[in-house]
Amino acid sequence: MHRTRWLAGMAVLAIVAALALLAGCAKEEGAIRIGLQGPMTGDYAYEGDGFQKAVKMLVDQTNAAGGIHGKKVQLVVEDDAGDPTQSALVAQRLVDAGVVAVIGAYNSTATEPASQIYNEAGILHITPSSTAVRLTQKGFPRFFRVCFVDDRQGLFAVRFLKEVMGATRVGILHDNSTYAQGLALEARRAADKQGLEISFYDAINPADKDFTPILTRIGASRLDAVFFTGYHSQAGLLMKQSRELGLPVRWIAGDACNNPIMIEIAGKANAAGNYVVTEPLPKDLDYPEARKFIADYTARYGEAPASTWTLMAGEAFNVIRHALQQTGSTEPKVLAEYLHASLQNLNGLSGPILGFDAKGDRLGTIHVGYRIDENGQFALSQQQPTQ
């Protein structure tokens, strides 16, 4: 009995010592450490994987070209699983790891608690993809985003519904996440202003698999289009199940649905004829920077980046790299001041980055509408609404 206890104690000690050694080895002296947090597991793992691939590639390219002012860049990756609790934990770990700047998180629900922690720690924080309006309304001076905010997306979706789809009986469905609820509210507000009547407004529980109860009610309400503001997995299931119930309703989904997983989940036939409004997909970005990024990515990973957010994660890294190069500083405060005040017309992967406003939001907007065609591909809609 005593002997086994003693052995167990020694084993635990050995493991702790080994872990400490590993942690010690990982730190490279003199390197600029940049953090990446995203959903490497969970519902949004597809996007987290893209984040990691894109940023790793750019970090390797930067280091191969001699680093930034002679210093290597070291990437520290943490998995938040898209979960707000986990997000706060990994944010603290990145702070403890001594990062200068952080790219992430993917979803607004995870970005919100992390932004608080990075703000208190005085770290530069750029989200590639969290579009909820409220994130930049807290007055955090070192928080930025390279994506566009949901009030503009909501307005764009409403115009698309009205001008392109010609919808008259419209519903809005969200999933109670920070992002989806915010986008749904913005869309409803925009619809009021644009004179489009919203006859149905409700939320699903994204942990469910079966949405037939609410779909049956949507069918009975005789809606001709529903704007779903949630994420791609549930969008796929909604499209599939609404066709299986034989509903004539057309779906339009927001920019958390601009990836092929949604079409795979729905099935090509069920997805066809539905719409997505989003920042343009990588394939439709006709800028030399974007084409080079896509070519390098394809050469390295054997497939082109299908999601906009993969490219946007690269965009966030490029903005940080640009600020480091231009200022010659690794002080987050100096970097943030540069982004707020001096950055103008940087040639980005997703088009020119005009600059950032005082809240940290990217100026301008580039939303487009896609129709899913019979082959299960996102086809740029022939007709686009007025911006």
Q: Which of 261, 272, 294, 320 binds other proteins (CB under 8 A)?
A: 261
Segment lying near other proteins (by CB under 8 A), choices 129-137, 139-147, 209-217, 310-318: 209-217
Any contact of residue 244 with other proteins (CB under 8 A)? yes
CA distance 314 to 304: 14
| Binding-residue pattern over the window 357 to 386 for other proteins, x denoting contact by CB under 8 A | ------------------------------
Query: Which residues contact residue 307 at a Cβ distance below 8 angstroms, ignoring those fewer than 6 apart?
Result: 46, 47, 50, 258, 259, 281, 282
Nearest distance from residue 50's CB to other proteins, in Å?
Answer: 11
Segment lying near other proteins (by CB under 8 A), choices 39-47, 128-136, 153-161, 281-289: 39-47
Q: Which of 85, 137, 168, 176 binds other proteins (CB under 8 A)?
A: 176
The angle, 0 to 180 degrees and rounded to 10, between the axes of the packed helices 212-220 and 232-244 is 60
Q: Can you tell me whether residue 202 is helix, strand or coil? A: strand
Kindly state the number of chain residues that form the binding site for other proteins, as judged by CB under 8 A.
37
Q: Which of 268, 340, 346, 355 binds other proteins (CB under 8 A)?
A: 268
Nearer CB in complex with other proteins: 63/216:
216
Q: Which of 216, 327, 381, 384 binds other proteins (CB under 8 A)?
A: 216
Whose structure tokens read 């969290």? Answer: 130
The token pair that represents 167 in the structure block: 């919808």
- Chain Cα centroid distance, residue 326: 26
CA distance 26 to 75: 11
The token pair that represents 254 in the structure block: 């927001």
Report CA-CA distances (Å) from 204 to 209, 244, 263: 10, 18, 19
CB atoms within 10 A of CB 342: 11
Any contact of residue 224 with other proteins (CB under 8 A)? no
Any contact of residue 328 with other proteins (CB under 8 A)? no
Buried b (16+ CB within 10 A) or exposed e, 272-283: bebbbbbbbbbe
Segment lying near other proteins (by CB under 8 A), choices 19-27, 204-212, 358-366, 379-387: 204-212
Q: Which of 210, 288, 299, 328 binds other proteins (CB under 8 A)?
A: 210
Number of helices followed by number of strands (H, E) in the chain: 13, 14
Q: Which of 31, 49, 163, 340 binds other proteins (CB under 8 A)?
A: 49
Q: Which of 68, 100, 256, 265 binds other proteins (CB under 8 A)?
A: 265
Any contact of residue 220 with other proteins (CB under 8 A)? yes
CA distance 268 to 381: 17
Nearest distance from residue 269's CB to other proteins, in Å?
Answer: 8
Segment lying near other proteins (by CB under 8 A), choices 9-17, 106-114, 231-239, 299-307: 231-239
Any contact of residue 306 with other proteins (CB under 8 A)? no
Any contact of residue 267 with other proteins (CB under 8 A)? yes
| DSSP states along 170-200 | EEEEE-SSHHHHHHHHHHHHHHHHHT--EEE
Nearest distance from residue 319's CB to other proteins, in Å?
Answer: 28
CA-CA-CA-CA torsion sign (86, 87, 90, 92): negative
- Chain Cα centroid distance, residue 309: 5
- Count Cβ atoms within 10 A of the Cβ of residue 4 and give its class: 0-12 exposed, 13-18 middle, 19 or more buried: exposed
Nearer CB in complex with other proteins: 74/234:
234
Segment lying near other proteins (by CB under 8 A), choices 2-10, 85-93, 206-214, 327-335: 206-214
Any contact of residue 202 with other proteins (CB under 8 A)? yes
Q: Which of 31, 245, 334, 366 binds other proteins (CB under 8 A)?
A: 245
Any contact of residue 85 with other proteins (CB under 8 A)? no
Which residues contact other proteins by CB under 8 A?
A: 40-43, 45-46, 49, 176, 202-205, 207-214, 216-217, 219-220, 233, 236-237, 240, 244-246, 261, 264-265, 267-269
